[in-house]
């Protein structure tokens, strides 16, 4: 509850909303190597129209592993929670059953990491976790991690849109990367986000 992004010189900040609850649930599932899709749903104790079923697909079947979104106003009142509180729940048994196999830790490279920041403008309804997944796919093996560190909405980017800022960590296991190699990874990652969601580089 409260502000997801604080106010400051960069803008007015913004309150947490249903998409943040969905992204949080996706983060948990991703740690197990499970991809989760969000589907519109109506389920108590969530607000109608601001609730998503969290679905795992595979082998032609779909399994609901949880729900996420904004809690119903009456629920917030009865539980003495702030208005527009968000929440998610996951059925861990169902989620663990969907794990494709052992999830191994990535080897630690002794070579230096290259850090790149990108700010992408997308439709406000696009989950940040899906944009992060697109960056990871586009970046390939050299893209070590993707971390969301800022979400901005405001007049500078237009109504119905948001800016998502990500930190990219790029590293090879067997060598120090050249500048053109890390730049190519960044470019490929952004290109995949643009292909999937029409993402635009902020300030480009």
What average pLDDT does the chain have? 89
Q: Is the pTM of this model over 0.85?
A: no
Confidence at residue 204, expressed as pLDDT on a 0 to 100 scale: 67
User: What is the tens place of the pLDDT at every residue in 154-202?
Assistant: 888 888 999 999 999 999 999 999 999 999 999 999 999 999 999 999 9
According to DSSP H, which parts of 58-115 are helical? 73-78, 92-97
Quick check: 112 and 141 in contact, CB under 8 A? Answer: no
Sheet of 61-71, strands arranged across: 37-40, 46-58, 61-71, 86-90
Confidence at residue 10, expressed as pLDDT on a 0 to 100 scale: 65
- Per-residue tens of pLDDT for the chain, all 204 residues: 988 877 777 667 778 888 889 889 988 988 888 888 888 899 999 998 889 999 987 666 789 999 999 999 999 999 999 999 999 999 999 999 988 888 777 778 899 999 999 999 999 888 887 888 899 899 999 998 888 888 888 888 888 999 999 999 999 999 999 999 999 999 999 999 999 999 999 976
Beta bridge partners of 68: 52, 88
Kindly list the distances between the CA atom of residue 138 and the CA atoms of 48, 135, 175, 194, 196, in Å, as whole numbers in the listed order. 35, 5, 21, 10, 10
Beta bridge partners of 14: 5
CB atoms within 10 A of CB 129: 23
Confidence at residue 60, expressed as pLDDT on a 0 to 100 scale: 65
């Amino acid at each position: 509850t409260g502000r997801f992004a604080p106010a400051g010189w960069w803008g007015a900040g913004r309150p947490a909303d249903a998409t943040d609850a969905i992204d949080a649930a996706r983060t948990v599932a991703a740690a197990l190597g499970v991809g989760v899709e969000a589907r519109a749903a109506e389920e108590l104790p969530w607000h109608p129209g601001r609730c998503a079923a969290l679905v795992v697909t595979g082998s032609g079947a779909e399994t609901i592993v949880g729900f996420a979104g904004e809690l119903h106003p009456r629920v917030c009142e009865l539980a003495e929670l702030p208005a527009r509180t968000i929440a998610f729940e996951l059925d861990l048994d169902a989620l663990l059953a969907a794990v494709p196999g052992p999830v191994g830790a990535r080897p630690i490279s002794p070579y230096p990491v290259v850090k790149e920041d990108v700010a992408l403008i997308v439709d406000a309804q696009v989950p940040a976790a899906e944009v992060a997944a697109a960056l990871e796919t586009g970046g390939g093996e050299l893209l070590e991690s993707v971390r969301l560190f800022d979400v901005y909405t405001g007049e500078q980017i237009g109504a119905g849109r948001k800016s998502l800022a990500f930190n990219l960590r790029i590293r090879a296991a067997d060598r120090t990367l050249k500048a053109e190699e890390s730049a190519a990874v960044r470019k490929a990652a952004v290109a995949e986000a643009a292909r999937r969601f029409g993402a635009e580089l902020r300030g480009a």
